[in-house]
Amino acid sequence: MLPIDINSVKGFLDGEEGAALYEQALAVAALGPCLEIGSYCGKSTVYLGSACKKANSVLFAIDHHRGSEEHQLGEEYHDPSLYDAQFGKMDSFREFRHTLARAQLENTVVPIVAPSQLAARYWATPLSMVFIDGGHSMEAALTDYHAWAPHVVRGGWLAIHDVFPNPADGGRPPFEIWKLAQASGLFEAMPLIKTLGLLRRV
């Protein structure tokens, strides 16, 4: 299914969750391109991009590549190999490009190196699937949801990562936008796949 050993790609996406992203993206790719928010080093990109490549579609991959809150210097998930000492900032874009090259996805994935809200400002392309896995603050999660969920076409998927119904297991913002999507009446939730929430646009 995948062109490279997925365990060789830095990231936090579980294999079962990744397989579900691949299967659902492949199922709806005929409805339009897919889009992800929060690419990091490209683990989810390989799953989604491989499905889009098989379907002769496109994946837009949005990430400012400066890391989320937890990736910053001194934080729990900081990776020194991704730190740009010259600018004093985290930078995952070089590693991301290496992943695309290794996975032979450079002609399928369109990297958009920008904050989510900036990329969304003039967005007008209908999307078959949107995968939200960007910043996990409430502000970032709400911004991603409000900016991108409306672009999912009927029959398409909104996918949200790190949904923890039990507050003891993880942060609340992804769970809150997962609930918000259901309350909107526009999306029907499927059973969670570990921490992956899948919602079909009705």
Q: What distance in Å separates the CA atoms of residue 113 and residue 16, rounded to the nearest whole number?
A: 27
Identify any residues that bridge with 158 across adjacent strands, giving them in sequence order: 130, 199
Q: What distance in Å separates the CA atoms of residue 17 and residue 149, rounded to the nearest whole number?
A: 20
64, 136, 151, 161: the catalytic one is 136
User: Is 98 annotated in the active site?
Assistant: no
Token pair of 200 as six digits? 């079909």
Contact criterion met (CB below 8 Å) for 18 and 44: yes
Token pair of 160 as six digits? 């949200």
Mark 43-60 as b/e (b = at least 16 C-beta within 10 Å).
bbbbbbbbbbbebebbbb
* Complete DSSP assignment for 3-48: SS-GGGS-----HHHHHHHHHHHHHHGGGS-EEEE--TTSHHHHHH
Q: Which residues are catalytic?
A: 136
